[in-house]
Amino acid sequence: MTFKTLSLLFLLTLFSFADESITFIQDEQGFDYKFLLIIGSALLVILLVLLYLIKLKQIKQQNIYLTERLKLAFDGSHDGLWDWNLIDNSVYFSPRWKEMLGYKDDELENHLDSWKSRVHPDDLEAALTNIELCINDREKVFENKHRLQHKDGHWVWIYDRGQVQYNKNGKAIRMIGTHTDLTTEINLSNELNELNQTLQSRVTEEVKKNSKHERLIMQKNRLSEMGEMLSSIAHQWRRPLSTLHINIEMLEEDYKEKKIDQAFLEKFIHKNSEIIQYMSHTISDFQNFYKIDKEKSLFDVMEKIQAITDLNLNLLDQNGIKITKEGESFTLLGYPSEFQQVILNLISNAKDALLENQIKNPFITIKLSSDTSKGYIKISDNAGGINEKMIDKVFEPYFTTKEKNGGTGLGLYLSKMIIEKNMDGELTISNTEDGSEVLIVLNKEKA
């Protein structure tokens, strides 16, 4: 019922009351209050209307302000927007969506075929399958990487994600999402791979001539890890970015349904701020990892292990690998980023072995324990273990069982060197019933 209807009913009720009740007042006191009551009622209705209009204006101003902020944020992301009506099959592509492919807004028709006809033949089937799965599964968020043909003929890598809207009967009625241009990122990754291959040959050549080969090897190992780490972080950001975009895109529907009030705004800002803080924390962990330690410093062992596993958690989850951490932490005096490099090497080796051997229910376990003077770190897996004929050679430089996958044979050699030479500890490896186990023994910092 509208505000106007409610006001009219209110007046009619008052008039009826006046017809039936004021006569009694007039008879008793000799004065007619009917006109006075009508005037008072009209003033009350006018006051209610004014209050309603003031409140409506405030809500509109808040919505305009929020919409402008979100528009600025969305424009700053340089992503393209698409909106697909699943009922009549009509599609909207934003000007930025078309600009990614070299077209002006009026040069490309808002039609589904404008997208399908430009998808690379090798990518189309997977993209359509992902869309269908998303429509049939209400809990699933659509995510897909594919190539679209640019106006000048080259291929543009796109990260496509979206979400389906359903009506009250559970029928899919709309799908809305965004396009992100990944071409620069993928080209950079390819360049990094080429750079790593070039660096590998150069470092191998220099190590034979230079007495300072240990430092060169360590730098090479860090560079080779950087590509995988960047890829892991990029993938780890996809979901929070997708969530941010979908939250922004669904705001219009919330506004149309009059869901936006002060409580909604506070919840919306808080929810999206948490996502941004998570992304910022990921970058801080990455920066700390690649910071060169010039001097020894005190650090919490579990805290540094947690930071490394957080950076790689998405990549491990993607491959179905479960990683668990157990035990009480302890404090060390040493080089935090070099220690993290050792942990990353050991986790990467375990991951590669699990994938190469196609282990069902793969896992990596990290256990911490300590006594009065020593701290112990055990990293184990269920990858089947190491060939007994090779286990004594795994710490030799350039020894690798992963030549086909680009293994350098430096990871375990560097890890042992860092722990035993730089941190005055001990690193050993052995086979267990299910796989292999690396034991690190370090001197605890005395309180």
34 has a pLDDT exceeding 70: no
C-alpha triplet 37, 39, 41: angle, nearest 5° = 70
pLDDT band at 118 (very low <50, low <70, confident <90, very high): very high
| 82 token code pair | 């698409």
- Residue 71 to residue 220: CA distance in whole angstroms: 43
pLDDT tens string 218-235: 555 555 555 555 665 665
- Give, in degrees to the nearest 5, the angle at Cα 392 between 389 and 398: 100
Contact 385, 435 (CB under 8 A): yes
Strands 322-327 and 297-300: what pairing?
unpaired
Sorting pLDDT into bands at 50, 70 and 90, what band is 300? very high
Statement: residue 414 has pLDDT above 80: no
Amino acid 281: pLDDT: 62
Average pLDDT value over all residues in the chain:
78
* pLDDT on residue 76: 57
Q: What is the pLDDT of residue 27?
A: 46
Q: Which of 12-26, 105-119, 386-400 has the lowest mean pLDDT?
A: 12-26
**What is the pTM (predicted TM-score) of this model?**
0.42
- Full strand arrangement of the beta sheet holding 91-93: 91-93, 80-85, 172-181, 155-166, 142-149
User: Which residue type is seen at 206?
Assistant: E
Q: How confident is the model at residue 439 (pLDDT cuts 50, 70, 90)?
A: very high
SS3 assignment, position 86: coil
Cβ neighbours around 358 below 10 Å, total? 8
From 123, 164, 159, 158, select the one nearest 140 (Cα to Cα).
164
Residue 36 CA to residue 32 CA, distance in Å, equals 8
350 touches 371 (CB < 8 A): no
The DSSP annotation for 179-248 comes to: EEE-HHHHHHHHHHHHHHHHHHHHHHHHHTT-TTHHHHHHHHHHHHHHHHHHHHHHHHHHHHHHHHHHHH
Q: Any bridge partners for residue 369, and if so which?
A: 376
At 24, the pLDDT band (50, 70, 90 cuts) reads: very low
Alpha helices in 117-182, H assignment, sequence order: 121-136
Band (pLDDT 50/70/90 cuts) for residue 396 is confident
pLDDT value at residue 23? 47
Select the highest-mean-pLDDT range: 43-57, 60-74, 205-219, 221-235: 43-57
pLDDT at 334 over 60: yes
pLDDT score of 117: 94
Give the three-class secondary structure for 430. Answer: strand
Per-residue pLDDT at 212: 56
Which of these ranges, 15-24, 144-153, 300-309, 325-334, has the smallest mean pLDDT? 15-24
Question: What residue type is assigned to position 105 of the chain?
Answer: D
pLDDT at 446: 62
Q: Which residues pair with 264 in a beta bridge?
A: none
Whether 186 and 235 have beta carbons less than 8 Å apart is answered as: no
Measured CA to CA in angstroms, residue 396 lies from 257, 401, 408, 437 at distances of: 66, 12, 11, 18
State mean pLDDT over 290-301: 75
Q: Which of 19-23, 120-124, 178-182, 387-391 has the highest mean pLDDT?
A: 120-124
Cα–Cα distance, 51 to 49 (Å, whole number): 5
> What's the average model confidence in pLDDT over 264-286?
70
> Which is nearest to 175 in space by CA: 145, 138, 126?
138
pLDDT band for position 187 (cuts 50, 70, 90): confident
Residue 6 has pLDDT above 50, yes or no: no
The residues with which 379 forms a beta bridge, in sequence order, are 366, 438
- Residue keyed to tokens 């350039």: 398
Minimum mean pLDDT range among 95-99, 388-392, 440-444: 388-392
Which residue is it, tokens 């001990």?
426
Residue 398: closest CA among 205, 229, 190: 205
Which of the listed ranges 30-44, 195-209, 215-229 does the model predict with the highest average pLDDT? Answer: 195-209
At 322 the pLDDT is 93
120, 153, 320, 411 from 73: Cα distances, Å: 30, 31, 34, 42
The residue written with tokens 């010039």 in the block is 294
Across the range 264-269, mean pLDDT stands at 77
Residue 359, helix vs strand vs coil: coil
